[in-house]
Amino acid sequence: TIPIIAYNRQQRSINALLPPVPTALLILAIWIIAPVLLYLRHTVYLQNYYFLFLFPAPFLLLALLADQLINFLAADHPKLPPAQWRTASANLLVLTPLLLLAAWQFQIDHMRLVQLDAGEIGVERPLSEINQAIHISQEYAAQFPDCDFIIVDEGGTPESSKLGLLEHFVYPTPVRLIDVGRGYIIPQQCAIYLIARADELVTSWLASSGELLPQQVRAGDETWQFYDVEGGGTAVYTPLASWQNGLTLIDAQQTGILAANERLTLTYTWQVTQPQPPGTQYHFFNHFVNEQGEIVAQEDAPAIATIYWQPGDTLVTQFHLQLPPEFTGKKHSLFIGLYTWPDLQRIPLRNGDTTYMVQTVNIP
């Protein structure tokens, strides 16, 4: 925008049409609004720190407006107070937005401290812990050059996990991220697992299928551990159901009490038999349905991000259903399926259905 306007000003004498201040305001408006529009149209959730480069624009805009305001108040105007009052008013009006921003930031910090005391959020990880994880990961990437890195942490994407940046430091070693509590990947080939958040489902599997490596990261009260996993090879399973996108369900387990207000844990095992189209995102849905066809409990989630599925992998995914306070009728069925995100198109099974009935139960 800036070079174009500069060129037009020189070639077409735009000074008379667009004075300097309106031109600057136009540039700043485009600077602020254009990235926000891109953010709204993006299909993948973007973090607010992507917009750090915007910060000069609001302050420049504030400075321009403040300058215009001071000039207006300082001008001889019969309806305005004397000069000293005009100057004081200008200073107050300039400082007011800054004071409001400071109060807003204070409120944000105060709420964060309240949430920390209540245990609703965790303390930010020190940079030293991240650096230590990077150095150890680089050593293991050199020691096991044919193995992927699989990280179990809060957030299953580079944007939502604080260890998502690790992929830039161990390149070209592939890095895959799994949200804690959502399952794990049994890779066809070897992998190095980094457990940055305690996960009973994953650690119980690693206890029998992985080898604990000696180096670890001490992060406050937690210990981040590394495991060497040999891989699942090319095992062949009898499928329960197969989808047209190459995903096959090979096992379904349920734990919990089938009663009002209880919570069911659903664990599924899948095989990936073919690559997925670039940019594809799938969400799983779990529907607990009564005899009238009404959904009484459900959970939809990506579980393991589609970008990390590789042909030959076995995926173990976990979901949780909060059962309702009361049931209408006794007979209920559990259905599972997939749909694309964000356009919500269901993926059909090989037989053309869009849902697979896992089981039918009678509520006592």
pLDDT in tens, 286-312: 999 998 889 999 999 999 999 999 999
CATH of domain 241-362: 2.70.50.60
User: What mean pLDDT value characterizes the chain?
Assistant: 84
Distance CA 234, CA 186 (A): 11
Evaluate if pTM is beyond 0.75.
no
- Confidence tier at 3 by pLDDT (50, 70, 90): very low
Taking only the tens place, the pLDDT of each residue in 267-280 is: 999 999 999 999 89
- Confidence tier at 334 by pLDDT (50, 70, 90): very high
Q: What is the DSSP string of 108-132?
A: HHHHHHHHHHHTSSPPPPPHHHHHH
Indicate whether 17 pLDDT > 60.
no
Taking only the tens place, the pLDDT of each residue in 178-213 is: 999 999 999 988 999 999 988 899 999 999 999 999
Half-sphere exposure of 58 (CA within 13 A, CB side): 9
Token code pair at residue 295: 């959904």
Distances (CA, A) of 145 to 65, 137, 139, 209, 312: 57, 11, 10, 20, 19
Distance CA 17, CA 77 (A): 27
Which range is most confident: 75-89, 108-122, 266-280?
Answer: 266-280
Distance CA 34, CA 260 (A): 50
- DSSP annotation of 276 reads P
pLDDT reported for residue 304 = 94
**Hey, where are the domains in the chain?**
2-118, 127-229, 241-362
Share of the chain above pLDDT 90, in %: 46
Distance CA 137, CA 193 (A): 10
